[in-house]
Amino acid sequence: GSDSGSDGGETYTVATDNNFVPFEFLNEDTGKMEGFDMDLIRAIADEAGFQVDIESMKFDGVVTGMQSSRYDIGIAGMTITEEREKTIDFSDPYYDAGLILAVQADNEEIKSEADLAGKKVATRSGTTSETYLKDNHPDAEVVTFPGIVEAYMDLQAGRVDAVMYDVPNVKYYVNNDAKGELKTVGDVLQGEQYGIAFPKGSELVDDVNEALQTLIDNGKYDDIYEEWFGE
Ligand code: GLN
């Protein structure tokens, strides 16, 4: 069903990740997708005068869904990379992120990425963390899951030694679900920026960029940011 606050205008399909807190996740009570990205894309739709029909899926499904033009828009904490830009168009960047490691709270062995040789490191399939690990840590054993929660659960159960993933998601998980059980270690490993994704050649890119800029200028972006990342 249509999922925007405004009436009228075209309805565009929006592909999102089914679980990437606090950017997008299912509110079990309302049955609706919520989070920073969800508020942002609904505000952009209101501003630009279109409606959105949100469909959630595994992250790698969002990437392939853009490449095959199956959906009009993708918003999923998706990092803008040169590799993806060959097959996907992106909006202007809307969020600064990066990658970080998490380990069990009592782990004294892994203090940074320098300690990953011979270790089992879990992350999520098709993400920039998977690419980073394969490019920079050939001595680590990389284990990938379609959903990141499985990776965190393996870490909590001691089946893997570390998880590498996006800073805002790791911090959120470490401070909430896994409070006292997991901790982050080392520096932010790779600066990244998230962009809204489109099939290559989409005519929506300019309208979305314009609406995004309006929301930044009029303070609505800050309100949404504050709601999900404020104290
Ligand atoms: N930012 C990461 C990427 O683009 C992960 C995104 C996600 O899992 N939703 O690869």
Interface predicted TM-score of the whole assembly (ipTM), two decimals: 0.98
Residues 94-143: tens digit of each pLDDT = 999 999 999 999 999 999 999 999 999 999 999 999 999 999 999 999 99
167 within 8 A of 100, measured Cβ to Cβ: yes
Residues 176-200: tens digit of each pLDDT = 999 999 999 999 999 999 999 999 9
SS3 content of the chain, % helix, strand, coil (to 5): 35, 30, 35
Ligand 1 atom closest to the Cα of residue 127 is: 10
| Smallest CA separation from ligand 1 atom 5, residue | 127
Spacing, Cα 26 to ligand 1 middle (Å): 17
Q: Which of 36, 37, 78, 194 to mutate to test the pocket of ligand 1 (most atoms within 8 A of CB)?
A: 78
Spacing, Cα 166 to ligand 1 middle (Å): 7
Spacing, Cα 195 to ligand 1 middle (Å): 10
> Tell me, what's the pLDDT at 3?
56
DSSP-based three-state secondary structure for 35: coil
CA dist 41 and 38 (Å) reads 5
208 within 8 A of 73, measured Cβ to Cβ: yes
> Tell me, what's the pLDDT at 8?
72
Spacing, Cα 124 to ligand 1 middle (Å): 8
